[in-house]
Structure 1
Amino acid sequence: MIKALVTACAAVCTLTAHAATIDSIISPTRVVLDDGTKRAIVELPGEPVYACGLKPFQSWATRFEGQAIESAADGSVAVAIDGAPVSLATLFVRAGWLRPAALTDDAQASMTERRGGWACASAQAPFDAMHTSVDPKILAGIALNESAYNGRPWPWTLNVAGRGFFFRTREDAYRAIRYLISHGRSDFDIGLLQINWGYHSKRFASPWDALAPATNIRVAEDILNENFRLTHSAAKAVAYYHSANPAPGREYLARFVKHLSQIERGL
């Protein structure tokens, strides 16, 4: 990553003095700059997201061709958005075409909202990227139980006293959480894995933190691992994630098994 940033900075610093523009965008990690006298290929840090193939990205990226480049604060290639320089890498991450080495909030949002190339990825893909200690298939199966919207887990989901709400953005969900807390409510579940705020708020730094997909997944893993240590059974660990009472636990486990089968068939 450092090498890529140095390469990008060197190209930008050399070309910006000559009012360089974006000539073409080869891939999410390779951009051709032109200052009227010479061209240079700039390497952007990260991994391309090719789940939908290269052509959809190239079609989307044509909007940047011909735009003047600027230098972002970190020296990377940037374009002006609303009068301020924004790095191309950041724009590509937000749009779902580039996966950075460190999964920033933008990367987590684009991945779980299925933007750009992530639209064609499997339901398991976000959990492959963000899990730490639990099989990502198990996490994906539970998430489909907990926050499914249009057939995929949705990160900005709340369940308030048994009623589900799906918000368009993290900010919208956060405003709803603040409203609930300000009215003395704690009977609600948050995020991809629907962590109950009343029982588990101390596991998070803040309600905003609870919505972060990677944090939400980590806390769910902690709960599942605790359930497993208590029961010595993977099936019971999943059932107890919903309820230790046998009847609702069995029903929850049955839905989980159905979702797990769908994931294994390529959902």
Structure 2
Amino acid sequence: MPPLARLAAAVAVLSCLQIAGGDARASSDAAGASRLCDRAASDAARRHGVPLDVLRAISRTETGRSGIGGLQPWPWTVNMEGTGRWFASLDEARSHVFRHFKRGARSFDVGCFQINYKWHGAAFTSIDDMFDPGRNADYAAAFLKRLYAETGSWSDAAGAYHSRTPEHANRYSARFERIRATLPDTPITASQGWPIPRTGAGRPRTRTPAHAPLIGRGTAVLGSLVPLSAGAAHPALIGLDERDADHARTQP
């Protein structure tokens, strides 16, 4: 092989190795981010007496995207006034929310369990607080436990978590149960996952309004985010095919 050809071949091999290494790091990073939600779910399940598989299924129904080992939750998910997106990092997700918050947006969902700011934000000290996987999961678990006490069924509680309209609640419950049935039996321990990122110096900490209701009684509570493509590997728009005009957020 001529010297130039050998050089070109060597460069091609190195490029492939670099790409493979980058893909491996990206996969590892994605798996670590997903484990933030599962670790938070595990902690919240113990605190509130909610079955772990219920919380894990809810987080996947709300934010799940295809990853290593199947459908995985994504902590940097935002649904802004009906448009859902996965973001590559907490900073990107936070910047998106604050940009829209400054223009007046108040109805948006954030985090592993897609907690809605307008109707549930008063339970948190700030929007940053809502993004924290542990606090996001803790609120979701407490809320689901109250819904279980009301409905007597975790499947029905999951449906009510999404909507008070039977048609929408039943559709959500069916998806929740399908996802729940695919989860492995091995629990996620509190020691797994990344350290939860904290707000850095100079980050905006927009406080929630003191009068915002914690729990409403209208047509919908929270909402599911359904990926456009099961094979999506990067942040992408999420098809909100289970939402409609009836899914405004729960009114007080």
TM-score bin, normalised by smaller chain: 0.5 to 0.7
In structure 1, how many angstroms separate the alpha carbons of the residues matched to 2:31 and 2:43? Answer: 13
Following superposition, the deviation at residue 155 of structure 1 comes to 0.2
TM-fit CA distance, 1:125 = 5.3
Say whether the 8 Å CA contact 2:162–2:172 is kept in structure 1. Answer: yes
Distance, in Å, in 2 between the alignment partners of 1:124 and 1:217 is 9
Structure 1 residues 130 and 229, CA, compared in 2 at 3 Å: closer, same or farther? Answer: closer
Cα distance, 1:226 vs. partner? 2.0
Which 4+ stretches in 1 moved above 3 angstroms?
123-126, 264-267
* TM norm structure 1: 0.52
Q: Which has the higher contact order (CA 8 A, sep 6+)?
A: 2
Instruction: Compute the RMSD of aligned alpha carbons.
Output: 2.8
Q: Deviations over 1:148-203 (max 9, x none)?
A: 12221000000122221111111111111111211111121110000111110001
Q: How many angstroms does 1:212 deviate by?
A: 0.7
1:221 aligned to which of 126, 137, 141: 141
Aligned to 2:202: none
Higher strand content, 1 or 2: 1
Query: Structure 1: how far apart are the matches of 2:127 and 2:104?
Result: 14
Contact 2:81 2:105 in 1 (8 A): no
Of residues 126-135 and 254-263 in structure 1, the stretch that sits farther from structure 2 once superposed is 126-135
Deviation at 1:232, TM superposition (A): 3.1
Q: Superposed, which structure 2 residues align to 1:73-88 within 5 Å? A: none
Amino acid at match of 1:143: S
Distance 2:97 2:123 in 1: 16
Say if 2:197 is the partner of 1:197: no
Task: Give yes or no for the alignment of 1:114 onto 2:34.
Answer: no
Q: Aligned letter for 2:95?
A: R
Within-5 A mapping of 1:252-267: 252-264=172-184
Contact 2:40 2:137 in 1 (8 A): no
Distance 2:163 2:108 in 1: 15
Deviation at 1:230, TM superposition (A): 2.6
User: Taking structure 1 as reference, are residues 162 and 263 closer, same or farther at Cα in structure 2, changes over 3 Å only?
Assistant: same
CA distance in 2, matches of 1:191, 1:125: 14
Q: Percent identity?
A: 26
Q: How does 1:169-208 map to 2 (within 5 A)?
A: 169-208=89-128
Distance 1:208 1:126 in 2: 16
Report if the CA contact (8 A) 1:228-1:236 is conserved.
yes
State whether residues 189 and 196 of structure 1, in contact with CA within 8 Å, keep that contact through their aligned partners in structure 2: yes
Q: Distance in 2 between matches of 1:235 and 1:263?
A: 15
* Distance across 1 between alignment mates of 2:83 and 2:51: 28
Cα displacement string for residues 109-150 of structure 1 (whole angstroms, at most 9, x for unaligned residues): x7xx423xx88x7x8555224532121110110111100122
Q: Which runs of 5+ in 2 are unaligned?
A: 1-27, 188-252
User: Helix, strand or coil for the counterpart of 2:88?
Assistant: coil
Which entry has the higher C-alpha Rg, 1 or 2? 1
Runs of at least 5 residues in structure 1 that lack an aligned partner in the other structure: 1-95, 97-109
Specify the alignment match of 1:148 in structure 2: 64
1:26-68 superposed Cα distances (whole Å, 9 cap, x missing partner)? xxxxxxxxxxxxxxxxxxxxxxxxxxxxxxxxxxxxxxxxxxx
What residue in structure 2 maps to residue 127 of structure 1? 41
Mapped contact 1:124–1:137 kept (Cα < 8 A) = no
* Alignment CA distance shift 1:223-1:241 (3 Å): same
Which residue in the other structure is 1:161 paired with? 81
Instruction: Check the 8 A contact 1:124/1:263 in 2, yes or no.
Output: no
Give the structure 2 partner of residue 139 of structure 1.
55
Q: Give, as a single letter, the amino acid of the residue that structure 2 aligns with 1:234.
A: W
**How far is the alpha carbon of 1:247 from its aligned partner?**
0.4
